[in-house]
């Protein structure tokens, strides 16, 4: 991977649509390191940047919107690094562009579900975050993460472990966290910006999700849903749904948590969380995928139909044997 990046001057660093802190952190940290090496990397996303991450690039001078690309339309890039996903359906419009451009590419990811994107893959599903893989690449390049990069990497790792609460947080996770803090990462400031600066609209949307919480399978399944009109009534935006999955997951006795989010065009986004069941296998049946205990899918059906089909699939998966 280090040799690959050394042999290219203008890498395009891309992550999945609806970017999260792990994908963005991995992108931005690697960008910082490549700039230190005299490269000319570019960072892009193929969907709107969620407002909660505006603090990462206040003037939007660094994170480009691929959908609004103008001439030369990224034609000057000599390779692509896709971070935190390895599936076409997570790349949006960029996926179509990548399919039609024979540009060298490599995938850096930690999810089990993978498509063949046509390039080399640096995929480790045992890694708690893509941020860790970005850190390993940076070190392999002979670069010490800067203060800013350390902050990006800490954010990536901390958020993908539920701020070190989930089972994917290992001794190695805490060791890397200590290293990043020693390099200048500020956990307190990051936590405040990510979790303690919510606009009122996001809190109102959370209230809607709580009111709609329901149980199935004798309390083993908890789920809620967000409809398109909820954004108008609360003033929230789709990016404000990112943490809602923690609500059904926190209900006592629940084994599998689900959030159903209505999408434009009658589609439904589904988020899966589990305490032991491999929900990635269920998500893959609906065109998605991810980790064993945390996955997602987009079902091209109206929410009521998608909800019932997914709930039945989860109920069957929970049956003994």
Average pLDDT, stretch 75-83?
A: 94
CA-to-CA distance for 307 and 300, rounded, in angstroms?
A: 11
Name the CA dihedral angle for 42, 47, 51, 54, rounded to a multiple of 10 degrees.
0
pTM of the predicted protein model: 0.89
Mean pLDDT for the chain overall: 94
The answer to whether 106 and 82 have CB atoms below 8 angstroms apart is yes
Q: Which long-range contacts (CB under 8 A, 24 or more apart) does 96-104 make?
A: 97/66, 103/77, 103/78, 103/79, 104/4, 104/8, 104/78, 104/79, 104/80
* pLDDT tens sequence across 190-239: 999 999 999 999 999 999 999 999 999 999 999 999 999 999 999 999 99
* pLDDT tens sequence across 30-41: 999 999 999 999
Give percent of the chain with pLDDT exceeding 90: 89
- Residues 6 or more apart whose CB falls under 8 angstroms from that of 314 comprise 217, 221, 256, 258, 272, 277, 279, 282
Q: How confident is the model at residue 70 (pLDDT cuts 50, 70, 90)?
A: low
Return the pLDDT at 74.
84
Average pLDDT, stretch 261-284?
A: 95
CA-to-CA distance for 59 and 45, rounded, in angstroms?
A: 15
Q: How confident is the model at residue 274 (pLDDT cuts 50, 70, 90)?
A: very high
Element (H, E) at 274: strand 268-274
Q: How confident is the model at residue 68 (pLDDT cuts 50, 70, 90)?
A: confident
Q: What is the DSSP string of 243-266?
A: TTTHHHHTSTT-SEEEEEEE-TTS
Reply yes or no on whether the pLDDT at 71 is more than 50: no
Q: How open is the CA angle 128-130-132, to the nearest 5 degrees?
A: 70
* pLDDT tens sequence across 83-120: 999 999 999 989 999 999 899 999 999 999 999 999 99
Which range is least confidently modeled, 18-22, 66-70, 81-85, 122-126?
66-70
CA-to-CA distance for 261 and 212, rounded, in angstroms?
A: 12
* pLDDT tens sequence across 291-311: 999 999 999 999 999 999 999
Return the pLDDT at 69.
65
């Amino acid at each position: 991977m280090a040799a690959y990046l050394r042999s290219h001057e203008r890498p395009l660093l891309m992550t999945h649509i609806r970017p999260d802190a792990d994908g963005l952190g991995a992108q931005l940290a690697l960008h910082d390191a490549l700039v230190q090496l005299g490269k000319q990397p570019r960072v892009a996303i193929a969907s709107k940047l969620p407002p909660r991450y505006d603090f990462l690039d206040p003037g939007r001078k660094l994170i480009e919107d691929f959908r609004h690309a103008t001439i030369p339309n990224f034609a000057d890039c000599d390779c692509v690094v896709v971070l935190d996903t390895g599936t076409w359906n997570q790349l949006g419009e960029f996926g179509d562009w990548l399919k039609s451009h024979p540009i060298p590419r490599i995938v850096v990811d930690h999810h089990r579900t993978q498509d063949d994107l046509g390039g080399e893959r640096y995929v480790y599903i045992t890694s708690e975050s893509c941020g860790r893989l970005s850190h390993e690449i940076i070190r392999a390049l002979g670069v010490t993460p800067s203060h800013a990069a350390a902050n990006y990497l800490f954010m990536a790792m901390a958020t993908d472990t539920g701020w070190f609460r989930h089972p994917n947080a290992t001794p190695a996770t805490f060791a890397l966290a200590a290293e990043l803090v020693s390099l200048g990462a500020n956990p307190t400031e990051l936590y405040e910006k990510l979790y303690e600066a919510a606009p009122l609209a996001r809190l109102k949307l959370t209230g809607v999700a709580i009111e709609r919480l329901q149980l199935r399978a004798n309390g083993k399944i908890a789920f809620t849903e967000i409809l398109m009109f909820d954004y108008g009534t609360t003033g929230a935006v789709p990016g404000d749904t990112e943490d809602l999955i923690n609500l059904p997951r926190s209900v006592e006795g629940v084994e599998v948590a689900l959030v159903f989010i209505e999408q434009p065009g009658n589609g439904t986004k589904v988020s899966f969380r589990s305490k032991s069941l491999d929900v990635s296998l269920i998500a893959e049946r609906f065109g998605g995928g991810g980790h064993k205990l945390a996955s997602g899918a987009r079902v091209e059906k109206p929410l009521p139909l998608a909800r019932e089909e997914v709930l039945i699939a989860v109920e069957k998966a929970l049956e003994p044997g």
